[in-house]
């Protein structure tokens, strides 16, 4: 499955210190209360440590990511190895992962705090790829993998030494994960893999893939016939067929791969055979909350930036911002963003306290995907002709943001889940 989409545009700050001190460009969320940065944290969810970690991530975004985003978008790839090593050194890739393998062993609220901060990156592709590395490719491995497997794949992924990707989606199976066709058949002490995967984020650069494949030929239930396997991608038979050209998320390389009789030791299977789908499903709540959280800041910043643009843009003798339709609309949009934020925090708090938040997380993901489309579309309109060019950030956000309703669980899948909780899903017709 393809992951999350975040986009943010930093605003050049006022500073009383010399140019050399201007690390880069970032004001924090400027719309809340005063036009200064982050209001004091009144939520019990986030502590001073959460804020300190966000500051560290912010520095890295300002120094090591944002200055290069335009270049990476143009090249349609970013240097994952280099960047992940920097993130790994700062401890950002294993926040919720076990301490024994280099992680911090913290609860999910820390991931959410960092996810929000990723909204400061000037594009969606890079945070999406980071999210795959830190949150999507390794949860099952961390929880169910053998010690040897964790030493070989988890530790280096947390350290940023290996680039990971997640191999679930296929050309004929996206939302319908149960009907994937890739197989991994037992042959002596090996598993032999045949099939293909599509939409693989970081697939062109990754060192290994967390692969979901059919392993239990005798099991009829498609949800119990699959396993997760750690697959090194430099093995014979692995073909990185092409980098898919997309309308957005350009800096993230999205690959289609083919596997022809690829052999791995059977010990590379994570946990129990046949449990692969269940394992991956366990982290869906986190993945969906992450997707929603990661867009909050970017949406705020795009609304603010649009207001600033409209303020200085003159039309029919007045500032564009002075037209009531414009400033009222922006107020509506910001209201929606704050509502989504409240939902994300509430779901996170409940999750951290040990509750199942599948319904809330699915709702948050659904709302986030739709809100990103609504906000970027409305804001782009106020940029007029400029909004249609490559020269402004709102158009990149518009393109990148469209993925959120599709990847990491399409809107329709989210709706089905909510209906299941509402008990309104129709029963399958009797045969």
Partner 1 sequence: YIHIINKADMAASKGLKILVGCKRVIDYAVKVRVKPDRSGVVTEGVKHSMNPFDEIAVEEAVRMKEKKLAGEAVAISVGPPQSQETLRTALAMGIDRAIHVEIPLAQLEKLQPIHVSKLLAKVCESEKPDLVILGKQAIDDDCNQTGQMLAALLDWPQATFASKIEPSQDSKQLRVTREVDGGLETIDVSVPAVVTSDLRLNEPRYATLPNIMKAKKKPLAKMSPDQLGVDLQPRQEVISVEDPPVRKAGAKVESVEDLVGKLREKGLVK
Task: Please list the active-site residues.
Answer: 287
Strand 183-187 versus strand 164-167 pairing type: unpaired
Token match 């010990």: residue? 267
| Residue of the chain from 31, 45, 56, 282 that contacts partner 1 (CB under 8 A) | 56
Q: Is 324 in the site for partner 1 (CB under 8 A)?
A: no
Q: Is 60 in the site for partner 1 (CB under 8 A)?
A: yes
CB atoms within 10 A of CB 19: 6
Token match 């949406």: residue? 299
d(CA 348, CA 58): 22
Q: Rule CB under 8 A: which of 12-31 touch partner 1?
A: 13-18, 20-21, 26-28
Q: Is 98 in the site for partner 1 (CB under 8 A)?
A: no
Question: Between 111 and 196, whose beta carbon lies closer to partner 1?
Answer: 111
Contacts of 185 (CB under 8 A, 6+ apart): 191, 192, 194, 215, 217
CB atoms within 10 A of CB 218: 6
Minimum CB separation of residue 354 from partner 1 in Å reads 22
Minimum CB separation of residue 239 from partner 1 in Å reads 37
Q: Could you tell me how many residues of this chain bind partner 1 (CB under 8 A)?
A: 35
Q: Is 384 in the site for partner 1 (CB under 8 A)?
A: no
Minimum CB separation of residue 56 from partner 1 in Å reads 4
Strand 238-243 versus strand 226-232 pairing type: unpaired
Q: Is 49 in the site for partner 1 (CB under 8 A)?
A: yes
Query: Are the C-beta atoms of residues 303 and 334 closer than 8 Å to each other?
Result: yes
Q: Is 39 in the site for partner 1 (CB under 8 A)?
A: yes
Containing H/E element for 239?
strand 238-243
Long-range contacts of 144-148 (CB under 8 A, 24+ apart): 144/270, 144/271, 144/272, 144/275, 144/279, 145/230, 145/270, 145/271, 146/267, 148/267
Q: Is 104 in the site for partner 1 (CB under 8 A)?
A: yes
Only segment of 56-64, 130-138, 174-182, 415-423 that touches partner 1 (CB under 8 A): 56-64
Question: Between 38 and 224, whose beta carbon lies closer to partner 1?
Answer: 38
Question: Between 53 and 347, whose beta carbon lies closer to partner 1?
Answer: 53
d(CA 72, CA 151): 32
| Residue of the chain from 31, 43, 70, 90 that contacts partner 1 (CB under 8 A) | 90
Inter-CA distances, 3 with 74, 281, 405, 407, Å: 21, 14, 10, 6
| Residue of the chain from 2, 7, 106, 392 that contacts partner 1 (CB under 8 A) | 106
Q: Rule CB under 8 A: which of 393-412 touch partner 1?
A: none
Q: Is 316 in the site for partner 1 (CB under 8 A)?
A: no
Minimum CB separation of residue 97 from partner 1 in Å reads 12
| Residue of the chain from 69, 77, 92, 334 that contacts partner 1 (CB under 8 A) | 92
| Residue of the chain from 44, 48, 317, 430 that contacts partner 1 (CB under 8 A) | 48
| Residue of the chain from 7, 8, 53, 371 that contacts partner 1 (CB under 8 A) | 53
| Residue of the chain from 8, 65, 80, 95 that contacts partner 1 (CB under 8 A) | 95
> Within its chain, how far is the Cα of 261 from the centroid?
31
| Residue of the chain from 75, 79, 89, 331 that contacts partner 1 (CB under 8 A) | 89
CA dihedral 188, 191, 194, 200 (to 10 degrees): -170
Largest CA-CA distance found in the chain, in angstroms, rounded: 79
| Residue of the chain from 45, 59, 239, 246 that contacts partner 1 (CB under 8 A) | 59
Token code pair at residue 402:
């469209």
Residues near partner 1 (CB under 8 A): 13-18, 20-21, 26-28, 33-40, 48-49, 51-53, 55-56, 59-60, 89-92, 95, 104, 106
């Amino acid at each position: 499955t393809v992951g999350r989409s975040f986009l943010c545009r930093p605003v050049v700050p006022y500073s009383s210190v010399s140019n050399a001190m201007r690390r880069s460009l970032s004001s924090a969320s400027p719309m809340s209360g005063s036009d200064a940065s982050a209001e004091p944290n009144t939520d019990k969810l986030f502590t001073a440590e959460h804020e300190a970690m966000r500051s560290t991530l912010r520095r890295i975004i300002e120094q090591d990511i944002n200055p290069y985003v335009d270049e990476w978008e143009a090249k349609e790839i970013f240097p994952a190895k280099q960047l992940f090593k920097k993130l790994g050194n700062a401890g950002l890739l294993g926040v919720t992962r076990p301490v024994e393998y280099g992680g911090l062993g913290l609860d999910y609220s820390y991931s959410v705090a960092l996810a929000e901060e990723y909204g400061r990156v000037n594009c969606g592709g890079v945070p999406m790829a980071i999210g795959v590395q830190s949150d999507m490719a390794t949860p099952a491995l961390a929880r169910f993998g053998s010690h040897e497997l964790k030493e070989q794949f988890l530790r280096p992924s947390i350290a940023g030494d290996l680039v990971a990707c997640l191999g679930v989606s296929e050309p004929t199976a996206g939302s319908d994960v149960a009907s994937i066709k890739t197989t991994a058949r037992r042959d002596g002490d090996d598993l032999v893999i045949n099939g293909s995967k599509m939409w693989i984020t970081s697939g062109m650069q990754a060192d290994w893939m967390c692969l979901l494949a059919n392993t239990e030929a005798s099991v009829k239930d498609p949800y119990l016939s699959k396993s997760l396997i750690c697959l090194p991608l430099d093995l014979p038979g692995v073909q990185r067929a092409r980098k898919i050209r997309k309308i957005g998320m350009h800096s993230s390389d999205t690959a289609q791969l083919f596997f022809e009789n690829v052999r791995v030791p059977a010990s590379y299977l994570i946990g129990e055979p046949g449990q692969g789908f269940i394992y991956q499903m366990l982290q869906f709540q986190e993945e969906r909350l992450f997707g929603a959280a990661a867009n909050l800041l970017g949406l705020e910043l795009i609304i603010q930036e649009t207001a600033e643009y409209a303020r200085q843009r003159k039309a029919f003798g007045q500032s564009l911002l002075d037209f009531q339709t414009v400033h009222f609309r922006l107020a509506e949009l910001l209201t929606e963003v704050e509502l989504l934020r409240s939902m994300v925090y509430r779901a996170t708090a409940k999750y951290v306290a040990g509750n199942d938040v599948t319904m809330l997380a699915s709702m948050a993901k659904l709302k986030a995907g739709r809100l990103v489309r609504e906000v970027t579309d409305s804001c782009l309109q106020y940029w007029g002709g400029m909004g249609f060019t490559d020269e402004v950030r709102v158009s990149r956000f518009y393109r990148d943001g469209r993925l959120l309703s599709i990847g990491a669980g399409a809107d329709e899948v989210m709706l089905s889940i909510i209906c299941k909780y509402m008990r309104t899903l129709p029963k399958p017709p009797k045969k």
